[in-house]
Amino acid sequence: MNNILLVIPTYYPAIKYGGPIFSTLNTSEEINKLNNIKLSVVTTNANKNERLDIITNQWIKINNTDIKYYNDSIIDKLSFPLMFNIWKDIKKNDIIHIQSIFNTPTPISLFYSRVLKKPIVLSPRGSLGDWCLSNGRGSFIKKAWINLLIKPFSNHITWHATSNQEKKEILTLFPNARIKIIPNGVDLNEYKKKPAIPYNQWKKKYNINEKDKIIISMGRIEKKKGFDILIKSFHNVISKKNNLTLLIAGPDHGEQKKLMELVKTLELTEKVHFVGMLSGDDKLCFLKYADVFVLPSYNENFGNVYLESLASGTPIIASKNTPWSEVEKNQCGLWVNNSIEETTQAIINILDSDLKFLSHNSIHFSNKYSWNQVAIEFKDLFNSMKGDNE
């Protein structure tokens, strides 16, 4: 039996952090369905600006996974119980898989793992992209964090990247890094379900005109996602094509007020709607009933929502700051620079295409991203590392 400890700053049900929470949940549960491997999770009870209402500082089981939520002493920043006790959890396991870079559990876990001679896998989860490192007030702190708290352990780390793009980001900072690429997955059965609400009824829910084609986007409402580019591009498209609606879903992370002002300035209040965070049947209908999904992000190491859209049968327009170049040769989307001009033209090109053909190709392309396959690849990685403690 190979015992794996996943150390991660936040974990399900901390859904305020968006897509990564669900990808780690699904990966963990799929790994625990396999034979001769057990993955346990150590995390905190942080959920953005609040704490989860959950038992802390002891092991509990959620579905098939043992989890210990340490109480966050300074919310979303530091857990003293984790700091002083995680070494015991690390000691009892064979391999330590650490996720995230710029969170306090990471250097703490790296230190204890080396002291206890445990093999380490480190998943940056998009935090080493150039845009992420160079933007914001903390850019200097991030670079110092990497140099002082990550690089001293770099010779003992096996890196996990979700894409070739993320592999390149890691190699830029750690030229001698050992890297394994394992993508995120998607629950294919979930997106094969029939929507709970009929199409016309769903359109009425959002006051969409019967003849309108629907452009959607989804993600945390933050600067990184490029929603301002999308809204300006939509403004250009609608000046050439009538009968369009843009729906944007996701929790507000400080940008929504500014974006709504942009919508008002461009006189698009009847055509652009922010629908909040969606899940379950609401999310399924949102993805399945759209004509095209667009997210001109400044950086994504993977971008689960692109894959979820494809699995729903909706073609995508992804920026070249994401790893989705393959959609073009598989004829299920476009991969363009996140400029207003290129995003505008990409939307027009998709809407002028055979949408049924693109939808069929989208589903076919997504089939290779099952969670079971992701779990098997992680198991193979962990098996190759057992006993590697030098």
Give the chain's domains with CATH numbers: 2-185+370-385 (3.40.50.2000), 190-366 (3.40.50.2000)
pTM: 0.90
Q: How far apart are CA 32 and CA 20, in angstroms?
A: 18
User: How far are the Cα atoms of 217, 292, 310, 353 from residue 356, in angstroms, in the given order?
Assistant: 19, 11, 13, 9
Do 157 and 95 contact (CB within 8 A), yes or no? no
Residue among 305, 365, 287, 354 at smallest CA distance from 329: 365
Q: What size, in residues, is the chain? A: 390
Report the number of secondary-structure helices (H) and strands (E) in the chain.
15, 16
Do 69 and 56 contact (CB within 8 A), yes or no? yes
Residue among 301, 281, 369 at smallest CA distance from 332: 369
Residue among 321, 387, 368, 303 at smallest CA distance from 118: 387
Strand, helix or coil for residue 50? strand
What is the residue-level pLDDT of the chain in tens, covering all 390 positions? 999 999 999 999 999 887 789 899 999 999 999 999 999 999 999 999 999 999 999 999 999 999 999 999 999 999 999 999 999 999 999 999 999 999 999 999 999 999 999 999 999 998 998 888 887 668 889 999 999 999 999 999 999 999 999 999 999 999 999 999 999 999 999 999 999 999 999 999 999 998 999 999 999 999 999 999 999 999 999 999 989 999 999 999 999 999 999 999 999 999 999 999 999 999 999 999 999 999 999 999 899 999 999 999 999 999 999 999 999 999 999 999 999 999 999 999 999 999 999 999 999 999 999 999 999 999 999 999 976 665
Q: How far apart are CA 314 and CA 287, in angstroms?
A: 7
Do 102 and 76 contact (CB within 8 A), yes or no? no
Tell me the pLDDT tens digit for each residue of 251-297.
Answer: 999 999 999 999 999 999 999 999 999 999 999 999 999 999 999 99
Tokens of 338: 């996140």
Q: How far apart are CA 328 and CA 334, in angstroms?
A: 5
Do 294 and 350 contact (CB within 8 A), yes or no? no
pLDDT at 14: 95
What DSSP line would sit under 182-228, residue for residue?
----B-TTGGGSPPSS-HHHHHHHTT--TT-EEEEEES-BSGGG-HH
Q: Is 160 exposed, middle or buried (0-12, 13-18, 19+ CB in 10 A)?
A: buried
Q: How far apart are CA 260 and CA 156, in angstroms?
A: 47
Other C-beta atoms lying within 10 Å of the C-beta of residue 140: 8
Q: How far apart are CA 259 and CA 261, in angstroms?
A: 5
Do 95 and 62 contact (CB within 8 A), yes or no? no
pLDDT at 130: 86
Pairing between strand 37-44 and 65-70? parallel
Do 9 and 79 contact (CB within 8 A), yes or no? no
pLDDT at 86: 98
